[in-house]
Amino acid sequence: MSLVERVVAQFARPTGFFGNITGFIMAHRPSNLERNEWAISLLNLQPSDRVLEIGFGPGVTIQKMSEIVIYGVIWGIDHSEVMFRQASKRNQRAISAGRVRLVLTSVSQLPSFDDPFDKILAVNNFQFWDNKTDVLRRLREQLRTGGIIALVHQPRIPGATEDDATEAGERFARYLEMAGFKDIKVERKRMKPVSTVYVQGRNVQ
């Protein structure tokens, strides 16, 4: 495995010592913070929302959302034990209050949720999912009628270009359409080193 492949693997599923370093980078890289705050703003969160974040990483976005969702609940799933520990520590107070619930699992093995969600968010991990269309269909079943899913992506591969961001937005939109989502829209934010795309679909039944 090349060095680049090793780095990509760590961001896909952080493990061990280097996983802790990866989590620190995720939590403190300025472009990550800017990207995630932009995504949160587009979600138009409400205080009583039920939200699911897929691939919560070090839990920074969960923490930010919990400052808005004060009467609802935020669920998060991630398949990295390292990220689960970091996110649990970062969100300990909200977890103790029952406002945040974190589960160590993959998106391919969704846990049982007690009620439908208003919003589902995945930031920079959709590219790693297996069986994307099938998983999106299962996620649509977890949304209330009118609920939305947002797939956010900022290309991080070496040499990534604006064309890569454009292509990702178009590809993610096609996946949402194939999974039965409607009212699909793509937003773009100019950032360094490469723009971020926000792809949203709605569960219309």
pTM of the full structure: 0.87
Instruction: Spell 118-142 as b/e; 16+ CB within 10 A means b.
Output: bbbbbbbbbbbbeebeebbeebbeb
- What's the pLDDT at 28? 52
Q: Give the whole-angstrom CA distance, residue 95 versus residue 90.
A: 10
pLDDT in tens, 159-181: 999 999 999 999 999 999 999 99
Residue in the structure block whose two tokens are 């090793």? 6
pLDDT in tens, 66-111: 999 999 999 999 999 999 999 999 999 999 999 999 999 999 999 9
pLDDT band at 8 (very low <50, low <70, confident <90, very high): very low
Q: Give the whole-angstrom CA distance, residue 64 versus residue 55.
A: 15
Domain range annotation of the chain: 3-202
Q: Does domain 3-202 have CATH number 3.40.50.150?
A: yes
Q: Per-residue pLDDT averaged across 133-153, rounded?
A: 98
